[in-house]
Amino acid sequence: MLEGSFEVLCEDMLARIGRLKTKRGVLETPALLPVINPNVQVVKPRKIYEEMGYNAVMTNAYIIKRSLSEEAVKLGVHRILDFPGIVMTDSGAYQLLSHGRVDVEPGEIVKFQEEIGSDIAVILDVPTGFNVDYAHASWTVDETLSRARQALNIIKERDILWVGPVQGGKYLDLVKKSAEAMSQLPFHLYALGSPTRVMEQYRFNTLVDMILTAKIHLPIEKPFHLFGAGHPFMFSLAVALGCDLFDSASYALYARNDRYMTPHATLRVEQLNYLPCSCPVCVKLSCRELKAMSREERERILATHNLYVCQAELKLIKQAIHDGRLWELIEVRARSHPSLLAALRKLLTYVDHLEKHTPISKKRGILCLGPESAARPEILRYRRRLKDRYRPSPTFKVMLLIPKSRRKPYSRDAFVKSLLNRLAQEFGAESEAVHICVYDPFFSIVPLELDDIYPISQSESFEGWEDYSQMLQELKAYLPKAPYKAVVLYSVKGVNDEEIKDLCAKLNIKLSIIKAMETLWSKAALKALVEQVKNALRNA
């Protein structure tokens, strides 16, 4: 088998831009492989390759064997499809899931994929499906592993990349068992089996569990494939979870049902008043012309458009990975459907794992678009390192805790500068005993001397979100390790003053609270803060 076939170029969370080397050429990931039915080609594979920029497709070796066996062995799968790029072949597992049986033996379909010259091939696994009991799911895991071992013993062609599917369905302990066992077998790629029904029913939060349970227990250096990814609005989520490749026939299935894809929804043709797209198909058509076409022609046109939309979304995802902005794209797409928003919130339960694979710094700053942003990997990392690695100077006696100011870094804000100057004028060297810290709903507590580190100053957040519960949690961890004798709090709406009072009382720290003034950063506010600091220093 080929060694060193996957090279990672750029990462963000579990997403990566990579280069997968095959005997037919290099495939840049993340990549969508349009599924081609060898007997019904709505869009010609050569057009998909030459005009639309897809250099890899997926087809079904089982269907080819049943209808074009001799010709395929003679000519090869690439000539059968008339596709000069990379061809991945499935083994008939989808038919096994749909119909309950296939007329081929596992070893037979492995040999056939070798004979027709597949670039990437899948063993004949046994899909778990969704609405099955635990005993059946467990059997599919064991049977798939048995078939995987048998396949590795009969594979002869060493230039094909073979895929080891992970089964278990919604039973995460079985997914874990399957992934752990499959990871011990020398496949080039691994894949999540049985996700199609989950995605069709919009159970994206379940999909998050399934993908990450598999990913966490598979070799991180190997590519991961998601079978049957359906709609571009969930591509960014799948990529962030670590899916390097995914196949889909949805472009054609949707077209057959008169459905028009957009990056965030699917629209029925009869409901369209405009074509909200600038792909090569849509710029040449009007809605009236599209609706007046014959059903066959409209199906072809819609399938072509749908492929362009999928390709554009993938390019957007790749740019987001380069920019370190994939999280923002996921948040935007999550607002497309409640099920995607539920999936994003499920993703937050795995943020510790995502943080391990998120770069320390990025080319661009981050955008905090909603409450979910407070738990994104970069912000989690900051809060964790503040707790584990930072200790305020023992010379500090008073903590002056103020809300985030208008400008970043906070130390360059006009009000903060004025505050620093007034403290120096009033107290001279004693002002060094005052430690200014800023708080906000996202980063919680920011000591002023840390305010220009990434991504605090390299971030933008929306105004009006008043949930400071995370700040309170951080204070509970921070204050017991700090040298402060007193805290002066400039309290804004949403801050739980009573809980902070209780916390300071337990720690024997004196607390002074100034309620936010009508003009938050006013001369009156400055005067009140300085006066309270004076009292705190006097009594410290």
Q: What does the DSSP 8-state code read for residue 195?
A: -
Contacts of 489 (CB under 8 A, 6+ apart): 401, 495, 497, 500, 511, 512, 513, 514
- Length of the chain in terms of residues written: 540
- Cα 336–chain centre separation: 15
Among residues 356, 364, 381, 365, which one has the least CA distance to residue 443? 381
Is the separation of the CB atoms in 134 and 123 below 8 Å? no
The vertex-63 CA angle with 62 and 64, nearest 5°, equals 90
Tokens standing for residue 372: 């979910």
For 467, half-sphere exposure in the C-beta direction (CA atoms, 13 angstrom radius) is 10
Q: In what order do the strands lie in the sheet with 6-12?
A: 6-12, 15-22, 25-29
Exposed/middle/buried for 443, CB within 10 Å: 0-12, 13-18, 19+? buried
Distance CA 114, CA 237 (A): 33
Of 90, 125, 209, 258, the catalytic one is 90
Distance CA 380, CA 442 (A): 9
Q: Judge if the upstream peptide bond of residue 232 is cis by omega within 30 degrees of 0.
A: no
Asked if 452 is an active-site residue, the reply is no
Exposed/middle/buried for 232, CB within 10 Å: 0-12, 13-18, 19+? buried
Amino acid making up residue 530: V
3: left (phi over 0), alpha (psi -120 to 50) or beta: beta
Distance CA 444, CA 379 (A): 9
Reduced to 3 states, what is the DSSP secondary structure of residue 415? Answer: helix
Active site residues: 90
